[in-house]
Structure 1
Amino acid sequence: MGPDAAPSQAAEWASAIAWPLASFAVLLLAWEWLVPLAGVPEYILPVPSAFFERLWTDRALIFQHTLVTANEIVLGFLMAAVISIPLGYIIVSVRLLEKAVYPVIVFFQLVPKIAIAPLFVVWFGFGLFPKVLLTFLLCFFPTLVASMTGFRALDERVLYLTRSMGATPWQTFRKVRVPAALNYIFSGLKVSAVFAATGAIVGEFVGANSGLGYLLLRGTSFLDMPLIFACLVALSVVGILFSYLVDGLEVLLMPWQRKS
């Protein structure tokens, strides 16, 4: 890496952050000025200054509910990753399981998760578990399919080569199969990261006494539009941070894809 690599990389990171911030600033300024000019009342569409002020004045309450939703997102996502990635490898490795188990998984995936969310409340109550379970179900299938695709993508001739060189099955799995599949796995994880927030919020909509979904419903009941938009901003921040965490984990586990 040359002496100019670090400044160049810093400039690239600054550019990646500055352009989205500039776009959001332009959007918010246009929103702030055009909504009053159009005569849209605040109970229909509040201006950004109104809900950012509410975000600040109620920061303790919103932060408390944000932590609940973030906890549901992380737990459901991690559960899906821990179960679906090894299961994807097992299904690909055992052809009989692929024929017998995968169609059953696809069948259950076709059942709308929003439709069965009320059942989780009936079965498991209003606590943390039904929200985590719904988040898990939404994240499970994309990660599973991506994992299966990744583990299938390895050329069989590479496996013949590793066996001929005396590599053990564990060495082949750790040094060859997993690195070859990581690109596909992280593609699935990025999709699942988007679904995770949806699962948590839907679970809170169905039945909860805490979380951003609960706070959104409370704001809707009183037509408190600044509170609703403040919760949406908090939820967006959680989603963005979680997405960056997945991206950071990808860079950490796949150093060979870093730009020189």
Structure 2
Amino acid sequence: MSTSLDKARRAVVGGTALVVLLVLWEVAVHVLKVRPITLPPPSTVLLELAREWRWYLDHCYYTLITTLGGFALAVLVGVGLAMLLVASRNFTDAVYPMIVALNSVPKVAIAPLFVIWMGTGYEPKIAMAFLISVFAVLVDAVHGLRSVPQDVLDLGRVLKGSPLDFFLKVRLPGALPSILTGMKVAIALSLVGAIVGEFVASQRGLGYVILSAQGTFDTARVFAAVFLLAIMGMLLYGAVVWMERRATPWRVVHD
């Protein structure tokens, strides 16, 4: 009961702070006579969203699909690579330096190559979302798989199960908190990657909305797209936190 009240209190405080910020923003724009092309008031941004909500919804859907596609691929590849890195020292010595080198390359520099290789559809945006987010999953998954207590590992070996049973029932549950932590970082990075991909070559998505609005100096439309991206990022992060609570009920998750 106290937990529910605490969540309600935090929601009220957060909502109140947001309303106060928007009111101050609205008042400041009118009092200081700031030009709308420089900083539109929140009322103009909300009016823009209300007037074209179906159009914005279509672009949100496109960005959401590419974000989730890249995120799912990052989780599958990141956890799979982590398993191989933990299982084989030779594989680690051969592959990990290349992974670190690839992660050090600015991702924006690689985005045009994805367009050349994959075209201008969903694929290059998903690839960019994957590339930006996979390292977060990989690092936390490796840390989690290597951090399982030795007594738990010894107990698993004593029970003499198959290697698959050993992984699914001993290593994976022990590493799950770290993997989910990496996923919380990766979901935000996937959204960033999807937007970067849309900046490079796209006719749909919130990244395209921002880029096209910038070209026509439609600042209200830019703010509307950014506002929707903020909401989408919060909802996606909240979904991963919800999944973390269900997958690791023995832990206290701070969100």
Q: TM-score, length-normalised on structure 2?
A: 0.95
TM alignment of 1:27-106, pairs within 5 A: 27-106=21-100
How far does residue 171 in structure 1 lie from its aligned partner after superposition?
3.1
How far does residue 258 in structure 1 lie from its aligned partner after superposition?
4.5
How far does residue 177 in structure 1 lie from its aligned partner after superposition?
1.1
State the AA in 2 paired with 1:169. Answer: P
Q: Secondary structure at the match of 2:40?
A: coil
Partner of 2:134: 140
TM alignment of 1:101-140, pairs within 5 A: 101-140=95-134
State the AA in 1 paired with 2:27. Answer: W
User: CA offsets per residue over residues 62-101 of structure 1, 9 Å max, x none?
Assistant: 0011100010000000010011112101211111111111
Question: C-alpha distance in 2, partners of 1:175/1:19?
Answer: 42
Q: Secondary structure at the match of 2:116?
A: helix
Which residue of 236, 239, 242 maps to 1:242?
Answer: 236
- Identical positions, percent: 35
How far does residue 52 in structure 1 lie from its aligned partner after superposition?
0.7
Question: C-alpha distance in 1, partners of 2:150/2:83?
Answer: 15
Matched, 1:12 2:6: yes
How far does residue 157 in structure 1 lie from its aligned partner after superposition?
3.1
User: CA offsets per residue over residues 181-204 of structure 1, 9 Å max, x none?
Assistant: 111111111111111111111111
Matched, 1:170 2:164: yes
Number of residue-to-residue matches in the alignment: 253
Report the more deviating stretch, 158-167 or 58-67.
158-167
Question: C-alpha distance in 2, partners of 1:166/1:48?
Answer: 63
State the AA in 2 paired with 1:182. Answer: L
Which residue of 204, 215, 236 maps to 1:210?
Answer: 204
Question: C-alpha distance in 2, partners of 1:19/1:82?
Answer: 37
Which residue of 167, 172, 179 maps to 2:173?
Answer: 179
Partner of 2:149: 155
Q: TM-score, length-normalised on structure 1?
A: 0.93
Can you give the 5+ residue segments of structure 2 that lack an aligned partner in the other structure?
none
Question: C-alpha distance in 2, partners of 1:16/1:170?
Answer: 43
Question: C-alpha distance in 1, partners of 2:87/2:13?
Answer: 45
